[in-house]
Every structure is written in structure tokens, then in C-alpha cells.
């Protein structure tokens, strides 16, 4: 059987939630990953030193037997220099959410007034703290990411030394931005390398494929594949794996989020193998992120095998993408 080995795989955009959900889902990522960039949009959001430290401790308590590093993020506010200096050693990046645009983002940025943001962003630039951005406006749902491109331009031109990561990009417009500014980078999810909106709502509504940013058009999918499969040096894997209880997904107010954490590497192997690009998966799932963020993850060697793997119906009450379906690749061993 064909096998493929990945060294120190990383997920540079992961939701672990908190409480019982954290305890249930964190081991699923820690099992196969060397580390992950953990999102801060809890309730309340992670926005000070004590909260960062305490959240990391809760994560580590949930994965005591795994070789796994949670890279911590801070919820963006207009912080002063003294505060950023006090927290810098505890974080890997700061995550900016437009206010109210996604889960638990009500306390996010409501105005992109560059002069108001300048003290924080310039200090971040000087201290080499990356800025991760959920790049959507509150416009028509299919246009929200494209409309945000002007804000990325504003940020990139005003702070040319600030490393800016466009999170979970879904459009050709975002792909085109990568080569326009030296300081723009991006994460891409595995589900956005597979799905278009037609897969979500083209027939019967598929609640476990419903996410935000919403899956887009075939031409957007092609653009994402073009840079991911070639392991463009400015893109990296970020699952945006977003667990919700089954009742919250299979309801009349379906929660947005696709849960891919337990099957992400298997799906990535399937996608890259399908296009004859398995040799580029190492860069996409680890090496690019190490270079972009300047991190040195815990050693882990994950070998996957091309053999049928049936996705469980649920993981502790959380239904994954493709539940009950058969994938072409499975995890064979982890060292």
C-alpha cells in the first residue's frame, strides 16, 4: 500500500473551545499534530496575560500524554506598548475580528480607523508580532471576503513590516492579493479545498458542511487549489475546525462551522494525492508555517496509508465532516 509521512504537522487556525468541549476535542488534534495556533474567541475573549496563561494551562491539561504545543493568540484590541511587552512572551500572534462577524466576535473591531489602530499595529510591527485577520465585511454573504480586500491593502501599505495573515481565505480575490504585498500571508482550510457552495446547499442542505466564510464558487476553489497544491511559500494549512454540539448543527439556526480536526490530515493526503502533489504537502502542512511564524514545533512523525477509513458518526457528540463516509487515506502510525 502507498504511504506518506509528514514531519511535525501543524494547524495554524484551530478552535478548541473551552470546558467539556475543550476536553473532548483537544486530544483529537494533539494526537496527530505537533502544534496548533489556537483561536482566542471564547466567552469572554482571551484578552490579557492571565487569560492567555490560564487557557494554555487548560489546553495542556486536556492533552497530558501528547507531544503537542498550543501556540496562543490574543483577541485584538487597541493595546498600548506596555501591555504588548508584558504579553509578548506568552503569545504567537494577535487575532483581529471585525465586530459581530463570526462566533463570539462581538467585542471585535468596529472601525478600521488607521490612526486609532496605529499605536498598536506599529508596536506589533516593531516587536514582530503577527496580525491574524478574519477578513470579512458585513455585506452580502458571498461578497464579504472580496469586499475586505481594500482593508487588507490599507493595513499592508500602512504597516509594511507587519506580518499579516489572511485567515481561512476562500476567494480568488484573496489568492490574487498574496503576490501584491510582501507582508501578506494566508491560511487555507481543507474543506475549502474540497467544497463549493453547491455542495452545501445545491441539493438538500448539508448542515455539517455549513461554515463561515461560506464556501464559494468553482473558480474560487480552483484558485485555492492552485496555491495550496504548489505549496506557495506564503500559504499554510489552518483547519478552522469549529466544533459545535450536534443539536446546534442539526437545528433551525444551524451553527456555522465544519469539524475536521480528526480527519484533516487524511483529507489533505486525499486531495494532494488526487492531483499528484503529495510531495508538496509537507510544505503546506508544516514547513511554510514554521518559516512564516518562526516557530520550532514538537517533533512528531505521522505516517498515513492509502487504505479505506470510515469516518465515525460523531466524536463525543460532535459530528465531523463526512461522518459515516469512507476516506481513501488513514493514519497508519505516529512516532
Q: Nearest-CA neighbor of 241 among 47, 51, 29? A: 29
- Sign of the CA dihedral 182, 184, 190, 193? negative
Radius of gyration of the chain, Cα coordinates, nearest whole angstrom: 19
Q: Residue 189: left if φ>0, alpha if ψ -120 to 50, beta else—which one?
A: beta
At 310 the three-state DSSP class reads strand
CA distance 15 to 22: 9
- Sign of the CA dihedral 42, 48, 54, 58? positive
179 as an active site residue: the answer is no
Catalytic residue among 11, 66, 220, 240: 240
Q: Read out DSSP for 96-165?
A: E-BTTSSTT-TTSBS---HHHHHHHHHHHHHHT--EEE----SS-TTTHHHHTHHHHHHHHHH-TTS-EE
Q: Catalytic residues, which ones?
A: 240
Amino acid at each position: 500500500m502507498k504511504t506518506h509521512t509528514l514531519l511535525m504537522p501543524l494547524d495554524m487556525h484551530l478552535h478548541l473551545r473551552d470546558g467539556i468541549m475543550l476536553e473532548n476535542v483537544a486530544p483529537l488534534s494533539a494526537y496527530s499534530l505537533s502544534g496548533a495556533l489556537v483561536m482566542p474567541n471564547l466567552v469572554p475573549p482571551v484578552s490579557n496575560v492571565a487569560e492567555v496563561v490560564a487557557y494554555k494551562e487548560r489546553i495542556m491539561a486536556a492533552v497530558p500524554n501528547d507531544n503537542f504545543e498550543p501556540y496562543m493568540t490574543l483577541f485584538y484590541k487597541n493595546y498600548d506598548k506596555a501591555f504588548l511587552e508584558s504579553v509578548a512572551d506568552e503569545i504567537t500572534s494577535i487575532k483581529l475580528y471585525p465586530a459581530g462577524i463570526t462566533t463570539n466576535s462581538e467585542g471585535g473591531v468596529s472601525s478600521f480607523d488607521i490612526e486609532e489602530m496605529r499605536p498598536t499595529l506599529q508596536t506589533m510591527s516593531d516587536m514582530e508580532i503577527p496580525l491574524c485577520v478574519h477578513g470579512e465585511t458585513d455585506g452580502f454573504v458571498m461578497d464579504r471576503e472580496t469586499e475586505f480586500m481594500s482593508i487588507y491593502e490599507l493595513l499592508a501599505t500602512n504597516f509594511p513590516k507587519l506580518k499579516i495573515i489572511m485567515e481561512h481565505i476562500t476567494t480568488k480575490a484573496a489568492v490574487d492579493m498574496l503576490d501584491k504585498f510582501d507582508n501578506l500571508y494566508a491560511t487555507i482550510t481543507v474543506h475549502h479545498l474540497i467544497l463549493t457552495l453547491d455542495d452545501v446547499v445545491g441539493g438538500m442542505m448539508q448542515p455539517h458542511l455549513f461554515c463561515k466564510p461560506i464556501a464559494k464558487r468553482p473558480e474560487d476553489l480552483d484558485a485555492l487549489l492552485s496555491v495550496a497544491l504548489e505549496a506557495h511559500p506564503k500559504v499554510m494549512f489552518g483547519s478552522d475546525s469549529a466544533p459545535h454540539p450536534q443539536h446546534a448543527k442539526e437545528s433551525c439556526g444551524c451553527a456555522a462551522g465544519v469539524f475536521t480536526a480528526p480527519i484533516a490530515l487524511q483529507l489533505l493526503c486525499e486531495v494532494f494525492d488526487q492531483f499528484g502533489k503529495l510531495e508538496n504537502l509537507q510544505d503546506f502542512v508544516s514547513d511554510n508555517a514554521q518559516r512564516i511564524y518562526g516557530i520550532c514545533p514538537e517533533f512528531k512523525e505521522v505516517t498515513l496509508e492509502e487504505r479505506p477509513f470510515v469516518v465515525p458518526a460523531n466524536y463525543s457528540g460532535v459530528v465531523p465532516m463526512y461522518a459515516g463516509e469512507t476516506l481513501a487515506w488513514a493514519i497508519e502510525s505516529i512516532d
